[in-house]
Amino acid sequence: MFEDLRDLYQEVIFDHNRNPRNFHVMENYDRMVEGFNPLCGDRITLFLKLDDDLITDASFQGSGCAISTASVSLMTEIVKGKTEAEAEALFKTFHEMTTGKDENINFEAVGKLAVLAGVREYPARVKCATLAWHTLDAALKNEQQSISTE
């Protein structure tokens, strides 16, 4: 990765960690799931508002490392206005990007989430980045009230 691109990515992660977007408890939510990453101690509570299969609002609470906070902050921004199917497809693309299964990052598909591509070089941090998405997945499937990455 080019150095200047890496700097830009870190800048975005720091910004979302300092000023997390959609960081509040949601009133009248449709779904609420707690996500926990015991490897790092990241804890989030994700709230969603749904209109049929459309995600109309997303917010979160919790505490974790910079990667997990930036990831869930970016995710809540990006899934608003997406359908459940679109969000699930994004999760799959994001997962492939962060685990390095897909060598070529599809920048068009992941958009701003590309800033987290660097975690693929740090296997211990992958779960920090994907916690938000595993929690979203559980919320959309509406099967569990809490999930753990382990």
What residue type is assigned to position 132 of the chain? A
111: tokens are 């958009």
Counting contacts by CB under 5 A, is residue 42 touching Zn ion? yes
Q: Which residues, at least 6 apart from 76, have a Cβ–Cβ distance to it below 8 Å? A: 21, 22, 46, 58, 59, 60, 132
Nearest approach, Cβ of 13 to Zn ion (angstroms)?
A: 12
Work out the angle at residue 93's Cα, subtended by the Cα atoms of residues 89 and 45, and round it to the nearest 5 degrees: 75
Give the range of 28-36, 42-50, 93-101, 113-121 binding Zn ion by CB under 5 A: 42-50
Counting contacts by CB under 5 A, is residue 44 touching Zn ion? no
Q: Which of 65, 95, 148, 149 binds Zn ion (CB under 5 A)?
A: 65
Counting contacts by CB under 5 A, is residue 128 touching Zn ion? yes
d(Cα 124, Cα 111) in Å, to the nearest integer? 23
Q: Based on CB atoms, which residue is closest to Zn ion, 4 or 124?
A: 124
Q: Which residues, at least 6 apart from 16, have a Cβ–Cβ distance to it below 8 Å? A: 69, 70, 73, 74
Give the range of 21-29, 65-73, 108-116, 137-145 binding Zn ion by CB under 5 A: 65-73
Give the range of 46-54, 57-65, 87-95, 101-109 binding Zn ion by CB under 5 A: 57-65
Counting contacts by CB under 5 A, is residue 68 touching Zn ion? yes
Counting contacts by CB under 5 A, is residue 40 touching Zn ion? yes
User: Is the Cα torsion angle 12, 125, 108, 58 positive or negative in sign?
Assistant: negative
Binding residues vs Zn ion (CB under 5 A): 40, 42, 65, 68, 128
